[in-house]
A = this chain, B = another copy of it.
Amino acid sequence: MNALASMLGTIDPSVLSARLADERAPDIVESLNDEAPEVAAAIILGLPHDRAVEVLDQPELDSVADIIEMLPRDRVASYLTGMSADRITDVFREIEEPGRSDLRARLDAETRGAVDRLSAYGEESVGSLMTTEFVAVPGSWTVQQTLDHVRHVEKTRETIYAIFVLDPRTQALTKAVPLRRLISGNPEDNVLSVAPGRRPLAVSPTASREQAARLISKYDLLALPVIDAVGHLIGIVTVDDMIDAMVEKQTQDVQRFGGMEALPEPYMDIGFLTMIRKRAGWLCALFLGEMMTATAMQGFEGELEKAIVLTLFIPLIMSSGGNSGSQATSLLIRALALHEIRLRDWWRVALRELPTGMLLGAILGLIGILRITIWQKAGLYDYGEHWILVAATVGAALVGIVTFGSLTGSMLPFVLQRLGFDPATASAPFVATLVDVTGLVIYFSVAMVILRGTLL
């Protein structure tokens, strides 16, 4: 595959289309993503119609708007008829006017209606993730009727492994029947005879994707029904769309925790200036926050002049506060995301982080004291006649800073969640910045207590 992809530059796209035609759609997509949109468009044009539709139906295909721009309009219109409504909606989000309106007008009425409804939902909502290609039958049908219907519509449905049973009168969703139970049922019985006793789990189209993901993963669902306010089934979220959404969310979380805005596209596909914009925003915000360390240091200028030895340990002490904070934040982000801990448990966490931070700080403090003692005794460096007091200052400051870092880092995700933000937006650099300024103040305050009358 890869060797093939790298030869693309020298080969006629039609030759390539012929070679790729037998590959699996996700593999074709991978090859196309390595190409410029005009080459990708030429290759798609050369594929058999069904394969081309399958390829365009993959959410992993990059630059789909550019590719579609380069294809003849009539071909695009015929491809669209084969694609799923949720994918068309996603593609339309990326195509600019007037192209979008033109393509929309060429859709058949049913698909156009579905796309219009789907595009009304926000990008982070379940509505934007759901598909309208599900199997639903009235509760008055028999198992046999249902099976015949399933066989008939199989090719046009995203999944047939969950069959939704509607109230024949109100059209409301009443049951979800797994296909595995349906095929084991008696053909003459009513379809409800093989339905599980419980009402099916369902979500609203305005619920968050997170919520759908949690339900699917907790209850091991293959498809989660989406219902409107009166209980009508308007779509389903399938497990594979949910996995794609999970992977995307995971990427955003890692990037946010790393201290930047999440990138909308793969690293190599992002323009230089977009990349700068996404990274510079956070860096500048953090930089402005860190400027308070300069202000804090200016406040302690007198102490600094009298005891230069204190400056030697500033980076060490500050980073320890940041590290302990970043540990605590990463722990609590996940515990909250997995619902291991609820918002109201914040005080239980605080009561745990307090002794944890103190003990961790004491361990680091001890190492710090040891280091100063060894360097002094071994003659590696002379920390002055009051070196014991300097060591005590470093040790005591570490206990205070690591405790403060652990507490701040663990409480931040709670505060964010309480304010309605995703706790995963708490980033390690942000926690470090929060802790740094306080860390300096703690360090110099401890120094003033311990060193007063000697160095200070």
Contacts and interface: CB of A to CB of B under 8 A. Distances in A.
Given A279-B356, A319-B433, 5 more contacts: A154-B184, A160-B180, A258-B333, A294-B315, A311-B311
A44 B154 CA distance: 41
A198 B24 contact: yes
A250 B251 CA distance: 10
Query: Which of A26, A286, A333 lies at the interface centre, i.e. has the most chain B CB atoms within 10 A of its CB?
Result: A286
A179 B198 contact: no
Given A24-B219, A218-B26, A331 B267 contact: yes
A84 interface: no
A95 to B, nearest CB: 23
A308 interface: yes
Task: Please list the 9 inter-chain residue pairs (A to B) with the smallest Cβ-Cβ separation, ordered nearest first.
Answer: A258-B330, A293-B315, A220-B240, A428-B428, A266-B340, A267-B335, A323-B429, A297-B312, A260-B327
Given A217-B247, A247-B217, A360 B266 contact: no
Interface stretch (A112-120, A268-276, A414-422): A268-276
A132 interface: no
Interface in A247-269: 247, 250-251, 253-255, 257-260, 263, 266-268
Contacts of A408: none
A244 B267 contact: no
A314 interface: yes
Contacts of A253: 250, 254
Interface stretch (A71-79, A225-233, A363-371, A446-454): A363-371
Given A184-B154, A308-B304, A432-B322, A272 B355 contact: yes
A292 B298 CA distance: 25
B183 A151 contact: yes
Contacts of A67: none
9 contacts: A154-B183, A179-B179, A254-B330, A255-B330, A267-B332, A282-B327, A290-B316, A315-B440, A322-B429
Contacts of A442: none
Interface of A: 24, 26, 60, 147, 150-151, 154, 160-161, 179-181, 183-184, 198, 216-220, 222, 239-240, 243-244, 246-247, 250-251, 253-255, 257-260, 263, 266-268, 272, 275-276, 279-280, 282-284, 286-288, 290-291, 293-294, 297-298, 301, 304-305, 308, 311-316, 318-320, 322-324, 326-327, 329-335, 338, 340-341, 345, 348-349, 352, 355-356, 359-360, 363-364, 367-368, 371, 381, 402, 428-429, 432-433, 436, 440
A230 B134 CA distance: 40
A290 B319 contact: yes
Given A315-B290, A381-B298, A367 B429 contact: no
Contacts of A319: 286, 290, 293, 318, 322, 429, 432-433, 436
B341 A267 contact: yes
Given A259-B327, A315-B318, A440-B315, A338 B251 contact: yes
A284 B363 contact: yes
Contact of A280 (B180, B335, B363): B363
Contacts of A327: 258-260, 279, 282-283, 429
Contacts of A364: 283-284, 287
A258 B257 contact: yes
Contacts of A359: 276
A355 B183 CA distance: 61
A331 B259 CA distance: 10
A45 B331 CA distance: 34
A269 to B, nearest CB: 8
A308 B301 contact: yes
B331 A286 contact: no
B161 A330 contact: no
Given A305-B308, A333-B254, A356 B276 contact: yes
Given A180-B160, A184-B154, A326 B429 contact: yes
A319 B301 CA distance: 20
A184 B154 CA distance: 8
B222 A222 contact: yes
Contacts of A216: 243
